[in-house]
Amino acid sequence: ALDSGEFFQGEALQELIRNCLERDTPLHLIGLLSDGNVHSHIDHYYRIIEHAAERGVRRLYVHALLDGR
């Protein structure tokens, strides 16, 4: 979904970004941050951050849940 761009077309993500831009508030991301590629992968965060920046989001905070590895 990330490679095809389908993920970025989702209404939920579009609404989050639109809200941040309209209200001049930061975007908060929370989730598992790992390079293990089992339940998540750090590259997913990079892609979402890049997309948000391209759309005009200037402040973004990552609240990372770590897997202990």
Q: What is the pLDDT of residues 5-43, one digit of tens each?
A: 888 898 999 999 999 999 999 999 998 887 777 667 788
pTM reported for the whole predicted model: 0.83
Alpha helices in 1-69 (DSSP H): 11-23, 42-55
55 CB neighbour count, 10 Å cutoff: 15
Domain count within the chain: 1
Q: How far apart are CA 22 and CA 42, in angstroms?
A: 28
Name the residue range of residue 45's domain: 7-66
Residue 2 lies in a domain: no
Six token digits for residue 68: 């202990």
Residue 1 lies in a domain: no
- Smallest CA-to-CA distance from 17 within 62, 48, 38 is with 48
Q: How do residues 46-58 score in pLDDT, each as one tens digit?
A: 999 999 999 999 9
